[in-house]
């Protein structure tokens, strides 16, 4: 058996299981070994040999556990002979570091040592026997600095002086080399050798002529004369006269010249039966060890080092100018995407920001401290990684996804990533999916699941006091529920799990017990095979719970409603007729289908909004739907308060399109509350002492002033298209209810405060205003602020129901006129011409999938659609689309 390991490998090591975000897990950072225990690279590195040669050498070794490391086109490969045959593991080499299995090593010797002494390379198998190469592999290229250089701050460049010597570890492109400094000033023998970027025109190849004691053109007679002049023990090295290609050490001892031959064998030097990597290694050894009886090498006969220096000052200035231009460009080849993401792994339980760069050509995802760095903090090998969505509930924040790297079959490394907004998350997910979950042909296959966690019965209360549920796809955690109380918890929580990889086999719901300090325990579970879940209608069923450990026979049961679906999405051109039908200027079809698809209002709203945004017609549609609601409403007090197609669409539109307004208006005051330690609590039932009420009230009022000041100053951050819609609705309200003078403000302010700002204040981490969920006290403070702003937007003071909030009423009275003026400023736009839309709107981009979803909804309600005279054309178009889809699917099946 031979082959690279990839994402299909599912074997796991019991000691290093997948990261559990709700419990403690073992570290996946490599343990450092003492250098004296590390095997020299020359003992196992075979240079550039192909897979066939590597396998032959492992077969000749005739030992299980035998291994070698070889160089490949894009890095290195660890070839290993295990119980089931020969396996090849890719080693990524980046900026002097080596990556395998999600781990980073400074040297190949450290990597080999780790999988020899610390960790398995396959399940219950480690590296045991190194195969020595038949001849030494070539060493890294050495270069010498021909010009001095001072690094740019906060970059990975190296500073150096003329004459410093480097080993080249990697060609980074654009003329930059990643080098390790091996000779020169400032080296500390107790520290690792410094490494970094060196521009190629600042260095030249290191040859023998660079050694000050090497005299390449001196004759034997002149050499002898210089040694006599140098005195007893003086020496030099020159080419051998008798053996071309070899070298000779000329040493003056006992008033005579002694010669010692150095034989050059491929990549090594041989003297006295000993092998050396370099000429310098020979000189260093015999400076302290006798080269002849009673004698070591003394003082060398020196010459000026010879290396190519630019022949003019103009050339020198041109080199430095080129470096400056490259700094400003700061380009990376084959970059498909780049940007800031937050990352969370096993050892980092807090989200940390990093600069990510996706190299599609290499199938690698690099992450850096900042955009100016060249050496990454780490890399993720996408060639052996799976991409999975993460539900907002797992970490209580949106825009997350995860990569599961399986470079080794006995280890999975999970990276949780979080994008700044929905649009960025969608862009990253789409780009990564092309590498991790590639699809061939014209059709796109997308699996999704809608899960309703309803309730549980008869949970053992002594074992599961505070239960919550974690949902997983093949052991990959993707969602979690709220914590409830046993024995009969009721959740009624719904989860939409989108874009499930096609290689997933099972869906698991695990009932966990909430412990102190996040020490949670898995207690019982339900495992559903996806092949049994693919039905047209949702499966609503009670499932018996099976104990994770056999403590009890009866763990109770779990009530789930699950609908697993598979979408086959055609190229966008195939939906042209359906698209044209939906986009008709009078929107008659949209008005009709919202009644038929009333149970799927949220899904329909998302799909229609995605389609109309792509056509830059969303303003026309939202205007038509909003004006229709105003016309049909008889009670002004509940205007836009119900759940309809319009309110679902406008909520989604504002949340995705007005993020700049949200962040500019409330980011600073929210951060102040999250980082503060002063409570705003006014409810006597929640206060430890009534004496705290005055201090808390003062703090709350100060916070409210801060919020309103920022909000009222952010009018022009609202997208013009949204301001146009609000102004249009305000005019219609004035015309419909001319005597309700406050209604024009109350209805429009409910859009801004009730639907947009207050949800963001209550859940700032979901809107990426803060990086983690606020503390309980901060959450309560934010809730009180939102409550006050909601009353302010309604132009209403607190009454008898909440007397303890009446202290806020002077603030509301003081700011009523400001709210009215704020709404008037928002609506002070031209309503004659309809704007062309706000362009891309968050994650609402996949037009083909939106049309496929509308098509699927139509087919689910086909009989009802056919019964509506105005929808017969829609039914006919969708039935024709079914036949066309069957033709396109036929070749693939």
- DSSP-derived secondary structure for 160-216: B-TT-EEEEEEEEETTEEEEEEEESTT--TTSPPPEEEEEGGGEEE--GGGSTTB-S
Do the beta carbons of residue 734 and residue 823 sit within 8 Å?
A: no
Torsion of CA 107, 113, 115, 117, to 10 degrees: -150
- Residue 512 in tokens: 């966990």
User: What homologous superfamily does CATH list for 217-288?
Assistant: SH2 domain (3.30.505.10)
Q: What are phi and psi of 4, to 5 degrees?
A: -75, 145
Tens digits of per-residue pLDDT, 95-116?
Answer: 889 998 778 998 999 999 999 9
pLDDT at residue 2 in the model = 35
- What is the mean predicted confidence (pLDDT) over 55-64? 94
Tens digits of per-residue pLDDT, 664-678?
Answer: 999 999 999 999 999
Helices and strands: H and E segment counts in the chain: 22, 32
User: What's the distance, CA 180 to chain centroid?
Assistant: 29
- What is the mean predicted confidence (pLDDT) over 314-330? 79
How does the average pLDDT of the chain come out, rounded?
87
Do the beta carbons of residue 715 and residue 815 sit within 8 Å?
A: no
Give every CB contact of residue 25 below 8 A, 6+ residues apart in sequence.
Answer: 17, 19, 346
Residue 685 has pLDDT above 90, yes or no: no
Residue 286 has pLDDT above 90, yes or no: yes
Torsion of CA 643, 645, 646, 647, to 10 degrees: 30
| Residue extent(s) of CATH 1.10.506.10 domains in the chain | 574-656+845-893, 658-838
- CA distances to 11, 492, 515, 523, 556 from 487, rounded to whole Å, are 36, 16, 16, 13, 9
pLDDT at residue 16 in the model = 32
Q: What pLDDT band is residue 188 in, cutting at 50, 70 and 90? A: confident
CATH topology for 658-838? GTPase Activation - p120GAP; domain 1 (1.10.506)
| Residue extent(s) of CATH 2.60.40.150 domains in the chain | 338-569
Do the beta carbons of residue 450 and residue 494 sit within 8 Å?
A: yes
Q: What pLDDT band is residue 10 in, cutting at 50, 70 and 90? A: very low
Comparing CA positions, the residue from 701, 676, 680 lying closest to residue 692 is 680
User: What's the distance, CA 590 to chain centroid?
Assistant: 38
H or E stretch at 887: helix 872-892
* Number of residues assigned to the chain: 893
pLDDT at residue 33 in the model = 65
pTM score, whole prediction: 0.71
Residue 305 has pLDDT above 80, yes or no: no
Tens digits of per-residue pLDDT, 756-808?
Answer: 999 999 989 878 788 777 888 999 999 999 999 999 999 999 988 888 999 99
- Residue 84 in tokens: 């089931």
Report the chain's terminal Cα–Cα distance, integer Å.
30
Q: How far apart are CA 218 and CA 231, in angstroms?
A: 18
Do the beta carbons of residue 769 and residue 671 sit within 8 Å?
A: yes
Do the beta carbons of residue 798 and residue 806 sit within 8 Å?
A: yes
**Class of the CATH-defined domain 574-656+845-893:** mainly alpha
CB atoms within 10 A of CB 411: 25
| Burial (Cβ within 10 Å: 0-12, 13-18, ≥19) of residue 677 | exposed
CATH topology for 338-569? Immunoglobulin-like (2.60.40)
Residue 311 has pLDDT above 70, yes or no: no
- What is the mean predicted confidence (pLDDT) over 218-236? 93
- What is the mean predicted confidence (pLDDT) over 427-438? 90
Q: What are phi and psi of 522, to 5 degrees?
A: -75, 125
pLDDT at residue 36 in the model = 62
Give every CB contact of residue 819 below 8 A, 6+ residues apart in sequence.
Answer: 745, 749, 792, 793, 795
- What is the mean predicted confidence (pLDDT) over 231-237? 94
Comparing CA positions, the residue from 423, 413, 434, 417 lying closest to residue 359 is 434
pLDDT at residue 627 in the model = 94
In this structure, which long-range contacts are made by residues 53-60, counting pairs with CB atoms below 8 Å and at least 24 apart in sequence? Answer: 54/79, 54/88, 55/2, 55/79, 55/86, 57/131, 58/86, 58/131, 59/86
Cβ-count burial 257-269 (b if 16+ within 10 Å, e if not): eeebebeeeeebb
Do the beta carbons of residue 476 and residue 436 sit within 8 Å?
A: no
pLDDT at residue 31 in the model = 58
Inter-axis angle of helices 872-892 and 847-860, nearest 10: 110
Torsion of CA 197, 199, 204, 210, to 10 degrees: -40
Q: Higher model confidence: residue 315 or residue 400?
A: 400
Comparing CA positions, the residue from 857, 852, 683 lying closest to residue 781 is 683
- Residue 87 in tokens: 């396996």
CB atoms within 10 A of CB 371: 12
Tens digits of per-residue pLDDT, 485-539?
Answer: 889 999 999 898 888 888 899 999 999 998 887 678 899 999 999 988 877 678 9
pLDDT at residue 30 in the model = 57
DSSP state of 522: E
Q: How far apart are CA 120 and CA 82, in angstroms?
A: 11
Q: How far apart are CA 796 and CA 15, in angstroms?
A: 60
Q: What pLDDT band is residue 12 in, cutting at 50, 70 and 90? A: very low
Strands 129-130 and 66-72: parallel
Q: How far apart are CA 257 and CA 241, in angstroms?
A: 15
Q: What are phi and psi of 306, to 5 degrees?
A: -115, 115
CB atoms within 10 A of CB 484: 19
Residue recorded with tokens 């505070």: 466
Q: What pLDDT band is residue 270 in, cutting at 50, 70 and 90? A: very high
Give every CB contact of residue 13 below 8 A, 6+ residues apart in sequence.
Answer: 120, 123, 410, 411
Q: What pLDDT band is residue 820 in, cutting at 50, 70 and 90? A: very high
- Residue 444 in tokens: 């796109």
Comparing CA positions, the residue from 23, 100, 25 lying closest to residue 517 is 23
Q: How far apart are CA 301 and CA 547, in angstroms?
A: 81
- Upstream peptide bond of 9 is cis (omega within 30 degrees of 0): no
Radius of gyration of the chain (CA): 36
């Amino acid at each position: 058996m031979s082959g690279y390991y990839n994402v299909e490998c599912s074997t796991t090591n019991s000691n290093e299981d997948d990261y559990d975000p709700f419990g403690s897990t073992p570290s996946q950072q490599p343990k450092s070994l003492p250098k004296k225990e590390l095997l020299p690279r020359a003992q196992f590195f075979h240079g550039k040999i192909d897979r066939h040669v590597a396998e032959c050498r492992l077969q000749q070794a005739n030992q299980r556990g035998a291994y070698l490391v070889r160089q490949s086109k894009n890095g290195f490969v660890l070839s290993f002979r295990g119980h089931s045959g020969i396996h090849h593991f890719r080693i990524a080499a980046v900026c002097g570091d080596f990556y395998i299995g999600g781990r980073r090593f400074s040297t190949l010797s450290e990597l080999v040592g780790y999988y020899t002494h610390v960790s398995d390379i396959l399940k219950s198998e480690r590296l045991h026997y190194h195969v020595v190469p038949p001849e030494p592999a070539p060493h890294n290229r050495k270069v010498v600095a021909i010009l001095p250089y001072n690094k740019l701050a906060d970059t990975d460049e190296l500073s150096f002086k003329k004459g410093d010597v480097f080993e080249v570890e990697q060609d980074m492109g654009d003329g930059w080399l990643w080098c390790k400094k091996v000779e020169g000033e400032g080296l500390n023998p107790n520290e690792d050798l410094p490494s970094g970027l060196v521009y190629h025109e600042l260095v030249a190849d290191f040859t023998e002529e660079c050694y000050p004691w090497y005299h390449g053109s001196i004759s034997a007679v002149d050499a002898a004369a210089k040694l006599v002049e140098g005195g007893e023990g003086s020496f030099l090295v020159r080419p051998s006269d008798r053996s071309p290609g070899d070298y000779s050490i000329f040493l003056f001892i006992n008033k005579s010249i002694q010669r010692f031959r150095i034989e050059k064998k491929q990549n090594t030097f041989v003297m006295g039966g000993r092998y050396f990597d370099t000429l310098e290694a020979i000189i260093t050894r015999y400076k302290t060890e006798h080269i002849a009886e009673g004698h070591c090498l003394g003082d060398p006969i020196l010459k000026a080092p010879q290396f190519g220096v630019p022949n003019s000052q103009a050339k020198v200035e041109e080199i430095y100018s080129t470096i400056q231009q490259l700094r400003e460009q700061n380009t990376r080849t084959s970059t498909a995407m780049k940007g800031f993401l937050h990352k969370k792994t096993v050892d980092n339980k807090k989200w940390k920001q990093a600069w990510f760069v996706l190299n599609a050509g290499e199938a690698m995802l690099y992450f850096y401290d900042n955009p100016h760095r060249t050496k990454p903090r780490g890399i993720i090998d996408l060639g052996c990684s799976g991409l999975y969505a993460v539900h907002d509930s797992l970490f209580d924040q949106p825009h997350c996804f995860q990569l599961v790297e399986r470079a080794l079959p006995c280890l999975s490394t999970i990276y949780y990533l979080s994008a700044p907004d929905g649009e960025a998350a969608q862009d990253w997910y789409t780009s990564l999916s092309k590498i991790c979950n590639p699809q061939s042909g014209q059709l796109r296959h997308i699996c999704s699941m809608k899960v309703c966690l309803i309730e549980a019965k008869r949970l053992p209360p002594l074992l599961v006091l505070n239960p919550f549920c974690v949902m997983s796809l093949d052991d990959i955690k993707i969602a979690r529920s709220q914590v409830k109380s046993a024995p009969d918890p009721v959740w009624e929580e719904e989860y939409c799990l989108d874009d499930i990889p096609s290689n997933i086999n099972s869906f698991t719901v695990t009932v966990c017990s909430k412990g102190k300090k996040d020490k949670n325990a898995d207690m019982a579970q339900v495992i559903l095979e996806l092949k049994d879940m693919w039905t047209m209608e949702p499966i609503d069923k009670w499932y018996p719970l099976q104990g994770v450990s056999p403590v009890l026979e009866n763990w109770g049961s779990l009530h789930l409603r699950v609908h697993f679906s598979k979408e086959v999405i055609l190229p966008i051109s195939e939906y042209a007729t359906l698209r044209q039908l939906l986009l008709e200027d009078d929107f008659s079809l949209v008005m009709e289908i919202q009644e038929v698809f009333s149970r799927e209002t949220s899904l329909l709203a998302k799909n229609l909004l995605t389609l109309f945004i792509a056509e830059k017609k969303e303003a026309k549609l939202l205007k038509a739907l909003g004006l229709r609601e105003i016309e049909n409403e008889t009670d002004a007090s509940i205007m836009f308060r119900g759940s309809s197609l319009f309110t679902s669409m406008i909520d989604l539109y504002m949340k995705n399109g007005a993020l700049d307004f949200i962040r500019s208006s409330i980011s600073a005051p929210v951060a102040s509350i999250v980082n503060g330690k002063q409570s705003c609590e006014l409810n006597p039932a929640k206060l430890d002492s009534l004496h705290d009420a005055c201090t808390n009230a003062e703090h709350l009022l100060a916070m409210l002033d801060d919020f309103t000041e920022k909000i009222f100053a952010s009018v022009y951050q609202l997208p013009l298209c949204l301001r146009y819609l609000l102004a249009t609705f305000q005019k219609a309200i004035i015309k419909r209810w001319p005597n309700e003078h406050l209604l024009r403000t109350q209805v429009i302010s409910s859009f801004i405060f009730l639907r947009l700002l207050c949800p963001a204040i209550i859940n700032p981490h979901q809107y990426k205003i803060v990086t983690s969920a606020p503390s309980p006290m901060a959450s309560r403070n934010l809730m009180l602020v939102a409550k006050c702003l909601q009353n302010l937007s309604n132009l209403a003071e607190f009454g008898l129901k909440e007397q303890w909030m009446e202290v806020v009423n002077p603030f509301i009275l003081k700011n009523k006129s400001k709210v009215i003026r704020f709404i008037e400023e928002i609506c002070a736009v031209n309503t004659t011409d309809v704007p062309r839309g706000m362009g891309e709107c968050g994650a609402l981009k996949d037009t083909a999938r939106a049309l496929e979803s509308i098509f699927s909804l139509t087919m689910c309600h086909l009989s009802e659609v056919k019964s509506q005279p105005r929808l017969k054309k829609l039914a006919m178009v969708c039935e024709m689309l079914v036949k066309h889809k069957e033709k396109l699917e036929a070749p693939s099946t």
